[in-house]
Every structure is written in structure tokens, then in C-alpha cells.
């Protein structure tokens, strides 16, 4: 048996990589995604978020096993409702839909308590990461289920919701959308919307300005007492589309301490051809303001699949995601950018097809010279800081 001197043994021990050092940077940091549309899939008959699926066979991008495989520690599951009629009946149906999605998330977390738990605070995220479990936060995409009933903000907060995206593709009772084909309804926030913002501040719930009109954005920024977020938005300077944020908007949001969470939707990352944009706009506005039926949903899915096939060559890449991150960092610094993928809701680029692939983005950021500290801020640190600020101010 070879024998080493004590001095040589000490040197060899010092040079040998520890378990922490040998683990990849991606595995060391806490990774958090602020916008994941997993509940869309969870509403489909037979879908089980605790079982591993195949993105090509099942058209699913998120489940607990693939989150673990990709090193995704935490995600905000989005309770999403398409904009329907602004009527008592429409609001009642949106509320029913939203409560059903909360129940589906709760059921899944109860069934797979060994894999994932509900998280509502930064401390929960770090605790669950240490335990090897996925931290599932909840956000609400579109304030439509609030209707005109202010008490529902607290109802959803008490069920775990920690942000609300105030609008979606069309105007609602809270504010104007960036993309409503009929133009503005309220000229920004409605009087009711101002009450919603104040109530969210009171509760410690993050206000999400993704999808809102520019005027709505500035109204929220002037009114909110705490930083606000864009849970899944990109830069208009790199991809000119009303859903994206101008440089002035990004500067204003950062000046108030907020964070822009970059998403993975191709046509928000790189400008598509005019024909492609027209096809996407038609798809997204189909059925807006109307009660949705199963037949409408099936037709929508078929048309979506067709557009994806026809314009596959225009799909964005991981480099395009990093370009938007670079732009925000150069504009306002490392403290105001994060990730909100929109997986299961249209997100996904060449080389990053589902949640199990997310480490490729970390590798791209390393390649571009970002430090481990920078990447930790991008992948969750910045957002958790803002969540802490919102909670502390209530």
C-alpha cells in the first residue's frame, strides 16, 4: 500500500474537490421561475404532475420529476383564466375556474408531499431547496377572477397566491391591456383597479404588470407603495411588441426597486415575420371577451399547432433569452432581472424544450461572463428580495 507523508496528505486533501465544489453552479444556486403555466396541463383529464412526461408526446413541459432533473427548485404555478365577458356571469365563471385550479394544485401537493410543497415566502423556498423538494408558489395570470369584488383579492391570497398579473390580452375591470383590439377602456387603471393595487399592497401581494398597457403600467408604478414585478416580459428594444417593455419602462420599474422576469416565448424574444405575427395575433385574440367552450379550445389548439409547424424556422434560441437578460443588465444593473419562462403557456426555444433543460441557460450565462453571484440573483435572488419587501410593507 502506498504511504504518503502527513504534509503530502494535507496537500492532496486541500486540492481534492469537495462535494459542493464538484457540484455544478446550477445545482448550487436556488433557481426560481416566476411564471409557469403547469395548471393548464393539470386541468386536462388524466394528467399527473407527479409523473414524468415527454414534451413531444404529451406537449407538457413541466412536472415534478422534470423539475428535479433540471435543477429547478421553485416555480410560480400560474392560475390563468382567459379574458371572457365583463359581466356578473363572466366573473362568476372566472372565479369558479380559478378556485378549481387552486384546488388542483392543493391536491397535487397533498398527493406528492414527498416531492413538493406550497411556498409563500422566501424562507419557504430556501427550506424546501435544502430538503430536496420543489417549492411551488402560486401566481394569478389575469385579474379577471377578481371581477369587481375586492374581497376576492384576500380570498386568493389566503389560498397562497402571491402575485396577480393585473390583465391579460384584453381589458378587464382592473385595467387596460397592452393588446386589446378595441383600445383602452379605462385610460390605465380603473377606479376599482386602484383599490385592487392598494389592497395588494396591504396584503403583501406582488403586483405584476406583464400584459398591461403602458398607461396602466405607469399608473401602477405611481400608486404602489412597494416594488412591482413583470413576471414574464421582455424588452421592446430587441423585439418591438406592445407586450414587451420599453427601455423607459424598465428604467422606471428598476428605479422603484422592481424586477423584470424574462420569458421564453419566441415571438417576444425575436421579431417574427409579418405573416407570423398576424397569425399569432389572430390566435391570441380568438374568443377574447366570449365564454369559452371545449369546442373553441380544441379549435384553438389545432390552429396553434399549425402555426408552430408553418413558422418553425423562426423559433428563438437560448442565446435570444440571454440577449434580453444582457439588455436589462446593461440598462439598469444586475439587481433588476430574473426568469419567468412561460413554459406550458407558449414558452420554449430551440435547445430549451422543457423544464429539464433549464441548465443550458445557466451555461449560456456563464459563457457570457456572469459570476455565480450574478446568476444566483437572476435565477431567483432578485425576485425573492422584492417578495420580502412586499411582505415587510404590509
Q: Do residues 326 and 285 share a domain?
A: no
Mean pLDDT over each residue of the chain, to the nearest integer: 91
Please indicate, yes or no, if residue 14 is contained in any of the structural domains: no
Is residue 1 over pLDDT 70?
Answer: no
With bands split at pLDDT 50, 70 and 90, how would you rate the model's confidence at 11? very low
Position 297 scores a pLDDT of 63
Please state the domain count of the chain: 2
Please indicate, yes or no, if residue 21 is contained in any of the structural domains: no
Q: Do residues 201 and 330 share a domain?
A: yes
Q: Say which residues have a Cβ less than 8 Å from residue 374's Cβ, sequence separation at least 6.
A: 334, 365
For residue range 36-94, what is the model confidence (pLDDT) as tens digits?
999 999 999 999 999 999 999 999 999 999 999 999 999 999 999 999 999 999 999 99
Q: Count of CB atoms within 10 A of residue 74's CB?
A: 28
Q: Do residues 300 and 372 share a domain?
A: no
DSSP state of 229: E
Beta carbons of 61 and 352 less than 8 angstroms apart: no
Q: Do residues 115 and 234 share a domain?
A: yes
Q: Do residues 302 and 328 share a domain?
A: no
C-alpha cell at 74: 421553485
Q: Do residues 246 and 100 share a domain?
A: yes
With bands split at pLDDT 50, 70 and 90, how would you rate the model's confidence at 272? confident
Position 47 scores a pLDDT of 97
Structural domain that includes position 141: 27-270+316-393
Q: Do residues 297 and 228 share a domain?
A: no
The reported pTM is 0.89
Is residue 153 over pLDDT 70?
Answer: yes
Position 292 scores a pLDDT of 61
With bands split at pLDDT 50, 70 and 90, how would you rate the model's confidence at 278? confident
CA-nearest of 377, 351, 382 to 364 is: 351
State the Cα–Cα distance between residues 255 and 207, nearest whole angstrom: 16
Which range among 9-23, 269-283, 326-340, 366-380 shows the weakest confidence by mean pLDDT?
Answer: 9-23
CATH number of the domain to which 225 belongs: 3.20.20.140
Position 300 scores a pLDDT of 63
Radius of gyration for the alpha carbons in the chain, expressed in angstroms and rounded: 21
Alpha carbons within 13 A on the beta-carbon side of 182: 9
Amino acid at each position: 500500500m502506498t504511504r504518503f507523508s502527513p504534509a503530502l496528505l494535507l496537500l492532496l486533501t486541500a486540492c481534492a474537490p469537495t462535494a459542493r465544489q464538484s457540484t455544478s453552479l446550477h445545482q448550487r444556486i436556488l433557481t426560481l421561475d416566476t411564471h409557469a403555466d403547469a395548471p393548464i396541463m393539470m386541468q386536462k383529464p388524466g394528467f399527473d404532475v407527479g409523473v414524468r412526461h415527454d414534451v413531444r408526446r404529451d406537449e407538457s413541459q413541466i412536472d415534478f420529476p422534470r423539475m428535479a432533473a433540471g435543477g429547478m427548485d421553485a416555480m410560480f404555478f400560474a392560475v390563468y383564466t382567459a379574458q371572457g365577458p365583463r359581466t356578473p356571469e363572466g366573473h362568476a365563471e372566472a372565479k369558479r375556474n380559478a378556485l378549481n385550479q387552486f384546488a388542483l394544485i392543493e391536491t397535487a401537493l397533498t398527493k406528492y408531499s414527498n416531492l413538493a410543497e406550497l411556498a409563500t415566502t422566501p424562507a419557504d423556498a430556501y427550506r424546501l431547496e435544502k430538503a430536496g423538494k420543489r417549492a411551488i408558489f402560486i401566481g394569478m395570470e389575469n385579474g379577471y377572477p377578481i371581477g369587481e369584488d375586492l374581497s376576492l383579492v384576500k380570498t386568493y391570497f389566503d389560498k397562497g397566491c402571491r402575485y396577480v398579473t393585473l390583465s391579460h390580452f384584453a381589458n378587464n375591470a382592473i385595467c387596460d391591456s397592452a393588446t386589446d383590439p378595441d383600445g383602452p377602456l379605462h385610460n390605465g387603471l380603473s377606479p376599482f383597479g386602484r383599490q385592487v393595487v392598494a389592497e395588494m399592497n396591504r396584503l403583501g401581494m406582488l403586483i405584476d404588470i406583464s400584459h398591461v398597457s403602458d398607461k396602466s403600467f405607469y399608473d401602477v408604478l405611481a400608486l404602489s407603495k412597494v416594488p412591482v414585478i413583470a413576471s414574464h416580459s421582455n424588452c421592446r428594444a430587441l423585439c418591438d411588441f406592445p407586450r414587451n417593455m420599453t427601455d423607459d419602462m424598465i428604467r422606471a420599474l428598476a428605479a422603484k426597486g422592481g424586477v423584470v422576469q424574462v420569458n421564453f416565448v419566441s415571438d417576444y424574444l425575436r421579431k417574427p415575420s409579418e405573416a407570423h405575427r398576424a397569425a399569432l395575433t389572430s390566435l391570441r385574440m380568438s374568443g377574447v371577451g366570449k365564454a369559452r367552450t371545449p369546442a373553441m379550445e380544441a379549435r384553438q389548439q389545432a390552429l396553434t399547432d399549425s402555426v408552430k409547424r408553418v413558422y418553425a424556422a423562426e423559433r428563438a434560441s437560448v442565446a435570444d433569452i440571454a440577449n434580453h437578460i444582457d439588455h436589462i443588465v446593461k440598462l439598469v444593473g444586475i439587481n433588476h432581472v430574473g426568469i419567468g419562462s412561460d413554459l406550458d403557456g407558449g414558452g420554449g426555444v430551440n435547445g430549451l424544450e422543457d423544464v429539464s433543460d433549464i441548465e443550458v441557460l445557466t451555461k449560456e450565462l456563464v459563457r457570457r461572463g456572469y459570476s455565480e453571484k450574478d446568476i444566483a440573483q437572476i435565477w431567483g435572488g432578485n425576485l425573492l428580495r422584492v417578495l420580502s419587501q412586499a411582505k415587510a410593507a404590509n
